[in-house]
Amino acid sequence: MANPFKFGSVVDNDFFTDRTRESEEVATILGSSNHLIIISPRRFGKTSLVQKVTNTLNRPVIYIDLQLITDVPDFATQLLKKILKINRWEHIKQFLNNFRIVPTIALNPQSDTMEVSFTPTVNSNFTALEDVLNVLETMGEKGKKPIVIFDEFQEITSLSKTLPKQLRAVIQHHSHVNYVFLGSMESMMRSIFESKKSPFYHFGYLMTLQKIPRKDFFNYLHSRFSPITNKNHEIAEQILDFTDNHPYYTQQLAFYCWNFLEKHTYSPSLLHDVISTIVRIHDTDYERLWNTLTQTDKKILITIALQEKISSLPLPTSTTYSGLHRLLAQGYIIKHTYYELDDSFFKQWIIEKRNS
């Protein structure tokens, strides 16, 4: 059998785990005139969830990761490239006639894709983006309603301080487009969508994506390990004990466990051996990462990894708070009812280094 677990990319089809209630919720919002906001830590499956739903809707979908956008003109360029990718040239050509800044468009014969570039003036950076955004509304008026996904939307202010206000001023008039805003930095996303001073205050339906419930994840693991071992109950429990139900790291550990079982018989040390192998594979990466951290950040991460109280740190409260805020923003830790390391294997690496 093929390995039934997948990690490291968008998860779909049989690889997708549960999220039945959330899928129905997303489908309901996208079937209405509302926009959708989803907040969760990285690698919790936001993109996979939205893609799973949109794959069933037979509507044009445009995805933009704002982490990979360098400035406002680049935003306009990448958005127009995505529009050209899902529309025939003759359908789009008429829209470009109304552009105030005409883009340069050329066919790349090697990749069979359209190359797009704008050369806006310093004082008209947003003009090109506004024109491209309005193409989306025209598409919706003339055909199927597009779904536009902006991933890592908290990066919007890093492109331009005025961009949130300018963007809201345009898309608030779009009634033939559903916008989806995904974000992994909860405090920043809530500031954008829940602060009364923000242009995007209450702009859409807000969902907070939690970890998959342990019972659902257990059933998923239990059924998929059953063809290869009769110890599927023990393995499912041990995997979830280690990953604490984190979607990405659960899939990763399950993937390696399956590979191990294809070559070896089950033994009580299975999980320990597989985890040790994964930590060893990433040792250089973790060491390089560790050396980029401040001493304060290292102390905080060690405390959290060893499950000691944050209040036990010999640091001023303000220093501890700043460090926690920084580590949350960088994605090293996540917070639910308590702080925990995002990466279960990085946590194990820290524990092993402290005990060696």
DSSP 43-109: TSSHHHHHHHHHTTTTS-EEEEEGGG--SHHHHHHHHHHHHHHHS-HHHHHHHHTT-SSPPEEEEET
In a domain, 304, yes or no: yes
In a domain, 10, yes or no: no
Same domain, 46 and 193: yes
Domain at 297, CATH number: 1.10.10.10
SS3 341: strand
Per-residue pLDDT band for 96 (boundaries 50, 70, 90) equals confident
Return the CA Rg of the chain.
23
Asked if 275 and 343 count as a contact pair (C-beta separation under 8 A), the reply is no
Same domain, 45 and 90: yes
Same domain, 124 and 265: no
Same domain, 197 and 321: no
Terminus-to-terminus CA distance in the chain, angstroms? Answer: 39
Same domain, 148 and 224: no
Domain that holds residue 112: 19-208
Average confidence (pLDDT) over 136-150: 94
Bridge partners of 64, per DSSP, are 150
In a domain, 137, yes or no: yes
Same domain, 227 and 294: no
Average confidence (pLDDT) over 108-130: 72
Number of domains within the chain: 3
Per-residue pLDDT band for 93 (boundaries 50, 70, 90) equals confident
SS3 202: coil
Reported pTM: 0.83
Confidence (pLDDT) at 145: 96
Query: Which tens digit of pLDDT belongs to each residue from 280-334?
Result: 999 999 999 999 999 999 999 999 999 999 999 999 999 999 999 999 988 899 9
Query: Which tens digit of pLDDT belongs to each residue from 148-188?
Result: 999 999 999 999 999 999 999 999 999 999 999 999 988 89
In a domain, 9, yes or no: no
Confidence (pLDDT) at 251: 94
Same domain, 327 and 218: no
Domain finish residue from 208, 230, 246: 208
Query: Which tens digit of pLDDT belongs to each residue from 279-289?
Result: 999 999 999 99
Rounded to 10 deg, the angle between the 125-142 and 163-171 helix axes is 20
Same domain, 25 and 171: yes
d(CA 276, CA 255): 14
Domain at 93, CATH number: 3.40.50.300
In a domain, 12, yes or no: no
SS3 37: strand
Same domain, 76 and 172: yes
Q: Is the pLDDT of residue 15 over 60?
A: no
In a domain, 14, yes or no: no
Mean pLDDT of the chain: 90
Same domain, 241 and 294: no
In a domain, 47, yes or no: yes
Domain finish residue from 149, 173, 208: 208
Bridge partners of 14, per DSSP, are none
Same domain, 148 and 232: no
Same domain, 264 and 306: no
In a domain, 1, yes or no: no
Query: Which tens digit of pLDDT belongs to each residue from 194-245?
Result: 999 999 999 999 999 988 889 999 999 999 999 999 999 999 999 999 999 9
* Lowest-pLDDT range of 29-38, 39-48, 237-246: 39-48
Confidence (pLDDT) at 169: 96
Domain finish residue from 179, 208, 237: 208
